[in-house]
Chain A
């Protein structure tokens, strides 16, 4: 009997080989992924008889009327709705990025200012310049109806990436009954920061035990509409802003006769942080003062639902919000006339901040031509009128000036609905919230330090110094954000 054990499969050998297999798998997984081959030079140029499925990030309920209209004339196009929700724009963007990272690119996305440069800067979004130039005749009517500042906000380094559909500038909503009870007049267009303070103070009401029953002012801790409007009216910004070169092709083609378009460039650049600018410190000190005096409650995170609860129950006099709030208040049971809206008060100026949103085409999408065709259809007047965002209730502000009519707001209010577009027309220096390609980490930093100042953990100066340092580190880690590779 042989005592040899040839080719013995020991436990140690088995585990060794298994470990090696895992290591090979891990190394293989580290290799840069190879993009999937595109079918054809541009798969979007499919024969019209061929079925095309457009994968689209939308709110299915709101989008359905538009899709139905489109399919009536383009029966060969089917749609797959991908609903991406999140607490804020940053979370939605994170989910989109994760989708793309996992190889599940869509054809059309929907992005607000917060993510425009994020997607363009990562080259996830395709510039639409060539399509716009090709279909200029069809688009002339759209551009004539939309303020150039909204268009400029959708540009990146001279190219256009989105056709804005809705926008919201942070105006000041006020509860009519609360102001009347406080014995103060409704604010006028040219009201000032001091007027605001007096109204807010007068409207703040405390009970016998000292607890606040009605707050004069409240806001949500976020990039858009938080304390950013106060930074803007104090003639400042969170970041150093400048206009990118380029864009002449667009302004010359569509806005040649519009004075509001004169001198506009190829989009915005936010080149460096200036969080601890004295004007910003002053603005934050003002908001901390309001909180310390009991005029504002502790700040909230999120989308503003809580503030809506405050406002509709008469516990809040004023809050910054955009056109989207009117529909929300009406849905929450506030009748027309019980609330109204005014421009932000003037401080050093009355420059507003806004955010705007529209569809964008995925650079790796398989049906880019078809996606453009739908995108173009979606900003037509008929399609926008049918869109669930604006019909039957106006849930956000349409970018088309012609859609802002008395009839639109007759049922819901506000009475002073003209203020939405007047923000752009009367203050053409109004600009988008600062949202560079690193807007996600920037917003997290902005929100965290704002919170520290507002809860007394840090002084406004210290909080903004800390914010400045973190933002400088962030910018140092991401140099050449605005250097466009060919």
Chain B
């Protein structure tokens, strides 16, 4: 006690601004420990603030201005927002993004799970690896390169796809030149690229299912669809949630495939929200308006993701 008293008296004589940190007490030790923790966290938090939160805040601020980069920004309040909600092209972009997500993510998850389950069936190891590698390979491809090649393959007159369909007596399909087919083509291309990743997720999820549970299901006579609905699906539901959340986030941000394959056409039939954002901001140099679309898209993604997590409490089962 006496030594502490002496130290405190000394502090009164010459105030140490870091005494709260350097004092040799339990609180001082706890503060030093906390500071060390924050120091370790600081790079990550600063990174998030500067590279994630900063741009989000900046985009929101920009959305309240009219700015073409070359002239000073002009404050216009919510004008960009009112314009967006009456801009048929922007609304079409959002609608197309929703349609894309609805079909692309549902199919991506379903196909990924199906492929994973097929690969879990009894087969020679070399065959399993061959299939797994084949399904995963497209994931390694550049989206832009894929879009160019698939664009040629799906060409109505010259494309390989219509050529082989023609050999089967199927008339030429306007894959990229009719609105409905164009969206189908973009979704199919996305599936070709993305399903492999989902399959790998589900292989991991299926491998995590306890063998005892499956054995117990067998003993209880659960087979086929019954076993799938009541045993497998609930047990891979965490993986399903992850695949759905990442799929929806990625799907709402889709850009490269429709931009290269169809340029958003025919008309605006495959123009997504991100394409409208890019074209507004960087082709038309309406940075404020582009930011408005970015902010609204961000809020939509946030709401949808929160909704997915909220609903997940009802159907996701953690072992």
Contact = CB atoms under 8 A, between A and B. Distances in A.
Interface of A: 1-2, 5-9, 11, 14-15, 18-19, 21-23, 25-27, 29-30, 32, 87, 90-91, 93-94, 97-98, 100-101, 122-124, 211, 221, 297-302, 306, 309-310, 315, 438, 440-441, 444, 447-449, 451-452, 454-455, 457-458, 470
B308 interface: no
B215 interface: no
A22 B70 contact: no
13 contacts: A1-B4, A5-B27, A29-B54, A124-B70, A211-B166, A301-B262, A309-B158, A444-B283, A447-B263, A448-B267, A448-B268, A448-B271, A455-B266
Contacts, number: 126
Nearest to A469: B88
Q: Secondary structure at chain A's binding surface: helix, strand, loop or mixed?
A: helix
B24 to A, nearest CB: 11
A94 B54 CA distance: 25
B256 to A, nearest CB: 13
Contacts of A452: 266-267
Given A6-B20, A21-B49, A32 B73 contact: yes
Contact of B172 (A15, A21, A211): A211
Nearest to A454: B266
Contact of A25 (B35, B50, B156, B166): B50
Nearest to B279: A444
Interface of B: 4, 20-21, 25, 27, 31, 34-35, 38, 45-46, 49-50, 53-54, 57-58, 61-62, 68-70, 72-73, 89, 155-158, 166, 171-172, 174, 177-179, 262-269, 271, 279, 282-285
B156 A298 contact: yes
Contacts of B25: 1-2
A21 B46 CA distance: 9
Contact of B177 (A1, A93, A299): A299
B181 to A, nearest CB: 10
A440 B284 contact: yes
Contacts of A32: 72-73
A8 B284 CA distance: 51
Contact of A9 (B35, B45, B58, B282): B35
A18 B39 CA distance: 12
A22 B49 contact: yes
Contact of A455 (B27, B179, B284): B179
A302 B147 CA distance: 14
A171 to B, nearest CB: 24
B31 A8 contact: yes
Contacts of B263: 87, 301-302, 447
Given A22-B50, A23-B57, A455-B174, 10 more contacts: A2-B25, A8-B20, A30-B62, A90-B283, A101-B285, A211-B171, A299-B177, A440-B283, A444-B283, A452-B267
